[in-house]
Amino acid sequence: MTSTASSTTTGRARRPRGVPALTAGLCAATLLLAACGSDGGGDDAAPPDPDVRAATTVAPDSTGVTTTSVPSVSTLDGVTVGYDEVASFDDTPMVLAVRPGDDDLAYVALRGGTLVRVDLSDGGGAPETVLDFSADVSADAERGFLGAAFSPDGERFYASYTNPDGDTRIDEYAVTGSGGSASLDEGSRREVLALGQPYPNHNGGNIAFGPDGYLYVGLGDGGAGGDPDDRAQDPTDLLGKMLRIDPTAGDESYGVPEDNPNVGGANGTEARPEIWLRGVRNPWRWSFDSLTGDLWIADVGQEQFEEIDFLPSDGTGAEAGRNANLGWNEMEGDEPYEGGQPPAGYVGPVFTYSHADGGCSVTGGYVYRGGAVADLQGAYLFADYCASRLQGLLVDGSTVVKDQADLGELPAGGPVSFGQDADGELYVLFEGGSLQRITAG
């Protein structure tokens, strides 16, 4: 039975106050992560219609997340951090994924189409290749092997990438064995999602299983400048959205949970049922708080502002972001974009910063839930691709910023992603090939 869409709390947009200006830098030409106000391919090109699969609806699962006690520090004043290099690669590491049950290991997606296994313990040895599908990956512009996730039971692996035609694909692989002996069965490869991309930028890529066990898929607006085809606000188009699907249910490639907000025509009979939220430009990196189920989205801006969206769960770890409209292309950050107006259902960002401060492309991270740096407990960590400084953000449990701090220069330039291990410790992945663990300073 289709559930009724819940209302979404509108966040207060905040800009940095008393924060050191982000150090200026140039976006590297080798990795144009949406950003830097990049418009990608020409605006005048005629974009093809996205190719999407049909889907069936499935009943929702309950979440096991509880929020009765949520530890969090009250301030980030005086916090210092350090870094330990865990591994280095010949290609850009894009994603760190952990298979449930294999706590000391991580799997790193390399941009060109290789998945490697890394031992996170001290002296763990060299990375080991477990999957190479580089022949099927296009890695120019903002394309590549962009997303990776294991199913909650660890029995399936999902890869999000752009194929040689520049279109988005999500494939599933069966996983067998355990620990360092685990392997991906290439013969089991199954296409879950096929989606046309009109331009070579804003191709999204980040995927993750939510607290409810469903697969969430972040998709940019398709690229070019300013979302020329208004896809992010179009409920009949999957681009510029976050999807919520069940890749293991139904007779088609995936199923649609029956409590998704568009199921049953709540937003019009033509609205795509896969859509969980809309109005994003390029949600390059986003994450769920592993303790509360809150959803954090770092949405890369066009020319002026970068934004972080905080979408709290309903108190049981569910419903974070349901039916929210994050504003693009009516809004950039918390400001109207080219005369736009806040759209219906608008949820403003909890935090924004200007390109005038030296940034160009926000790189979203995670809420810290580890034990190595107690002073970061409950803080959301993020960075900027150009500024290369670690930033921390605290909210008060709803949508009000209670502290923000510059936590110092990162050990390398070009942070493209963050990762979180089974213990809640956080890692930074850099364009130059380094994987660094955040430690106490």
∠ CA 139-149-166, nearest 5°, is: 25
Question: How remote is the C-alpha of 393 from its chain's centroid?
Answer: 17
What lies within 8 Å, CB to CB, of 298 at 6+ separation is 283, 284, 285, 286, 306, 307, 308, 309, 362, 363, 364, 365, 382
Tokens 């890692």: give the residue. Answer: 427
Query: Who has greater pLDDT, 85 or 50?
Result: 85
pLDDT category at 27 given cuts 50, 70, 90 is: very low
Tokens matching residue 305: 């502002």
Q: What does CATH list as the number for 88-354?
A: 2.120.10.30
How far is the C-alpha of 156 from the C-alpha of 158, rounded, in Å? 7
Model pLDDT for residues 315-327, shown as the tens digit of each residue:
888 899 999 999 9
Percent of the chain with pLDDT over 70: 83
Mean per-residue pLDDT, 115-134: 92
pLDDT of residue 51: 46
Higher pLDDT, 10 or 105: 105
Give residue 61's pLDDT: 63
| Rounded Cα distance, 271 and 297, in Å | 22
pLDDT at 56: 66
How does strand 105-110 pair with strand 295-299? unpaired
Q: Which of 216, 137, 148 is nearest to 184 (CA)?
A: 148
Task: Give the model's confidence band at 7: pLDDT under 50 very low, under 70 low, under 90 confident, else very high.
Answer: very low
Edge-to-edge strand ranges of the sheet holding 305-311:
285-288, 295-299, 305-311, 351-354
What local confidence, expressed as pLDDT, does residue 252 receive? 87
